[in-house]
Amino acid sequence: MALLDIKGLKTHFTTDDGIVQAVDGVDISINRGETLCVVGESGCGKTVTAMSILKLIAMPPGKIVAGEIIFEGRDLAPLTSHQLDEIRAKEIGFIFQEPMTSLNPVLTIGEQIAESLRRHEAVTRKQALERTIEMLQLVQIPNAAGRVHHYPHQFSGGMRQRVMIAMALACRPKLVIADEPTTALDVTIQAQILDLLQDMKERLGMAVMLITHAMGVVAETAQRVVVMYAGKVVEEAPVDELFGNPSHPYTQGLIRSIPRIDLDAEHKTRLEAIGGSVPILINPPPGCRFASRCKHAMSICTKQEPQLREIAPGHRMACHLGDAS
């Protein structure tokens, strides 16, 4: 049984201009101990999907209008935010893109991590402090015993992200969701943080749902990949299969736009980006949501929505290309 099984999730937002179908029928499952990458350009519904799991989005204007979110056999979708407090941090940890927005500026980082530990586990103040220092050591913060008494602004961006990871992992959750955890960091620090996340995953035996807009990150970290476009899953496969046999035109475009360090400057500038942009998700056009950007689009594409179908073991995609006719 999967650790987390999201089925038919629809999360919509009511706005003055109409209903934004941000997540519109998404199926994603994560097995114990695996790293699943969810990839897609900005605005494809990755964050809303992740935040829906723990009801971290503002409701209203957001609403889960359909679907199930089965975590260890229990459906989280009908639970209230208050009921989900038990699951947050203890069972499912969350690492946000911008740590400053989720760290409390007036508490030391030690107080914040210890608070989370004490809320979920029967530990004394002293034990909580010891565990906190241990976590900071684990995420390789130098002089952890001294740094535990510092405030968030006293850390660099990369160190703050390490603190966020320590906080998310302090209660040893079974799943950690990391939403673009390195996007705000420079490239060398990005690589260090991704390595750290992988290392922590192996030590603590947790599953990771890593959200990213960068295919390069996917290649380095994922075991399995889900590609999202405009509120839907368009392709899903084990990582080697996805890069070896990318089947959806959108996935192919994302892979072609990976910066290639092996090419010289002249070739690099010819990097192929996908033309156009993600459609606004109010009254999206019928049929395939990628049609306006797809060079393979056929007449059926704007009429009928392609459904996910299995094209190889564990490899599914939603495109009319190659449909049995």
Q: Is residue 43 a contact point for ligand ADP (CB under 6 A)? A: yes
CA dihedral 283, 289, 293, 294 (to 10 degrees): -150
Query: What gap in Å lies between CA 121 and CA 102, rounded to an integer?
Result: 21
Q: Is residue 176 a contact point for ligand SF4 (CB under 6 A)? A: no
Candidate list 34, 37, 39, 40; residue touching ligand ADP; CB under 6 A: 40
Q: How far does CA 251 lie from the centroid of its chain?
A: 17
Q: How far is the CB of 24 from ligand ADP (least distance, A)?
A: 10
Candidate list 268, 296, 303, 309; residue touching ligand SF4; CB under 6 A: 296
Q: Is residue 200 a contact point for ligand SF4 (CB under 6 A)? A: no
Among candidate residues 224, 225, 231, 233, the one with its CA nearest the CA of residue 308:
233
Return the residues of window 49-78 that contact ligand SF4 according to CB under 6 A: none
Cβ neighbors of 294 (< 8 A, separation 6 or more) are: 249, 250, 288, 301
Q: Is residue 288 a contact point for ligand SF4 (CB under 6 A)? A: yes
> Kind and range of the H or E element at 210?
strand 207-212
What's the chain's length in residues? 325
> Please, how many CA atoms are within 13 Å of residue 216, restricted to the half-sphere of its CB?
11
Q: Which is nearer to Mg ion, 133 or 197 (CB)?
A: 197
Amino acid type, 256:
R
Of the candidate spans 7-15, 87-95, 189-197, 315-323, the one that interacts with ligand SF4 by CB under 6 A turns out to be 315-323
Tell me whether strands 224-229 and 309-312 are parallel, antiparallel or unpaired.
unpaired
Q: How far is the CB of 315 from Mg ion (least distance, A)?
A: 25
Q: Which is nearer to ligand SF4, 113 or 301 (CB)?
A: 301
> Please, how many CA atoms are within 13 Å of residue 80, restricted to the half-sphere of its CB?
2
Q: Which is nearer to Mg ion, 47 or 221 (CB)?
A: 47
296 binds, among ligand SF4, ligand ADP, Mg ion, none (CB under 5 to 8 A by kind): ligand SF4
Binding site for ligand SF4 (CB under 6 A): 248-249, 288, 290-291, 294, 296-298, 301, 306, 319-321
In the complex, which residues of this chain contact ligand ADP (CB under 6 A)?
Answer: 13, 15, 20, 22, 40, 42-48, 58, 61-62, 281
